[in-house]
Amino acid sequence: MLRRLSRWLGLTLFVLLAGCADHAPQDYLRPEGPIAREADHLFKALLYGAVIPLAVLVEGWLVVSVIRHRHRKGYAPRLRTPRPAKLWLIIVPTMALMVVDLFPLAKEAPINFALAREPEDALQVDVYGHLWWWEFVYPEADVSTANELHIPTGRPVRLTLRSIEPGLPAPEGAEFAQGVMHSFWVPKLAGKTDVVPGRANKMTIEADKPGTYLGQCAEYCNLSHANMRLAAVAHEPADFEAWLNAQRQPVAKPDTGPAAEGYKIFTGKGGCLACHTVVGIEGAEARVGPNLTHLKSRARFGGYVFDNTAENLRSWVDDPSAMKPMRPEDGTGMPDQGLSEEELDQIVAFLETLK
């Protein structure tokens, strides 16, 4: 009995201690920006003010009554609480919950939640949750990228989250032509916000310091949900402007060597133009898959899962579904374009020029 108990205790302790891990890139208990901090204050107030006291009260009551009545047979006795106390037990938590629920809705609430405010001077970014990757569009700069959301530090970034862009044609035969639900979550920068078909949900994120903040889709969205990660990359404002400027440059067409051959395949028999945008290549404007104009400026690809090496890119173009479960036959994900070994080398040589 004692042995079994200590085994369970050990296991519980182990799980609890795992929460103290130092290297936890998605630890929301260590906020790294004002929005996340505001949510953290609310969380801690509720945790210490309500959750822990209530748990101690209710669990304590339970334990005491179990011990006190342990010899009793049959059903547990009913708790005998005096009537007025019962009433307060209902009224007080109800009021507390109303305060917590309703105040964020009021514009000039005493506790002014940054979460509900439309910030001034925010950078606007449109976010689209695809199956299974994130598209980030900077409408003022006419730039778009995938899975890596670049932001300036010290400035709120207002995200408009949609599942599928209104009016954008869905891929032929797509099973999920209306889009599906996702949830955008970068734990150190903000709480999560659902991405819902037919809606444009808003949220604000902000980072104090430059760095890479990991996140992921937090709403089950079918096959490759677990492979739908992202990173928010925060730069000093000047560096951010430089990044934006670099993203705006069109690609130069390679003239010689395997890259030039790869360019021909990319724009021709490879069929890549049906799904990908490359600014600078005529007719490369499709947005079924990520914008590849500056593919190599990104650290990872395929939903921020794979290191952006030539080797990985080759395996990807060779057989995308072998690397990441997708169902191109149902219109979700990237199909195997049936290229030969030599063509694969050439197309990767071309992709490697997309700096």
Catalog residues that contact Cu ion under the rule CB under 5 A: 182, 217, 221, 228
Nearest approach, Cβ of 350 to ligand HEC (angstroms)? Answer: 8
**Which CB, 151 or 161, lies closer to Cu ion?**
161
The binding site for ligand HEC (CB under 6 A) comprises 132-133, 146-147, 266, 270-272, 274-276, 288-290, 292, 295, 298, 301-303, 313, 316-317, 324, 326, 333-335, 337, 347, 351
Output 228 or 232, the one with its CB closest to Cu ion. Answer: 228
**What's the rounded Cα separation, in Å, for the pair 127 and 193?**
11
Distance (Å, whole) CA 162 – CA 178: 11
| Closest residue to ligand HEC, based on beta-carbon distance | 289
Q: How many CB atoms lie within 10 A of CB 178?
A: 10
Which DSSP state fits 79?
Answer: P
Answer for the pair 325, 224: CB distance below 8 angstroms, yes or no. yes
Residue 217 binds which entry of Cu ion, ligand HEC, none, with Cβ cut-offs from 5 to 8 Å by kind? Answer: Cu ion
Of residues 221 and 347, the one with the C-beta less far from Cu ion: 221
Name the residue nearer to ligand HEC (CB basis): 214 or 275. 275
CA distance 47 to 60: 17
The pairs formed by 92-96 with CB atoms below 8 angstroms and a separation of 24 or more are: 93/50, 93/54, 96/50
- Rounded to the nearest whole angstrom, what is the least distance from the CB of residue 207 to ligand HEC in the complex? 22
Provide the minimum distance between the beta carbon of 224 and Cu ion in the complex, in angstroms, as a whole number: 8
Judge contact between 135 and 127, C-beta under 8 A. Answer: yes
Closest distance to Cu ion from the beta carbon of 193 (Å): 12
* The entry of ligand HEC, Cu ion, none that residue 290 binds, CB within 5 to 8 Å by partner kind: ligand HEC
What contacts 99, CB < 8 A, 6 or more positions away? none
Nearest approach, Cβ of residue 137 and Cu ion (Å)? 18
From Cu ion, ligand HEC, none, interface partner of 104 (C-beta below 5 to 8 A by class): none
What, of Cu ion, ligand HEC, none, does residue 28 touch, CB below 5 to 8 Å by kind?
none
- Nearest distance in Å: CB 137, ligand HEC: 14
Contacted entry of Cu ion, ligand HEC, none for residue 152, CB cut-off 5 to 8 Å set by kind: none
Q: How far is CA 307 from CA 62, 134, 299, 314, in A?
A: 52, 16, 6, 12
313 contact, one of ligand HEC, Cu ion, none, CB 5-8 Å limit per kind: ligand HEC
Q: Which residues contact 326 (CB under 8 A, 6 or more apart)?
A: 131, 132, 223, 224, 320, 332, 333, 334
Residue with tokens 């005493």: 110
CA angle, 152 then 145 then 162, to 5°: 90
Among Cu ion, ligand HEC, none, what does residue 182 contact (CB within 5–8 Å per kind)?
Cu ion
CB of 188 to ligand HEC, least distance (A): 23
List the beta bridge partners of residue 230: 215
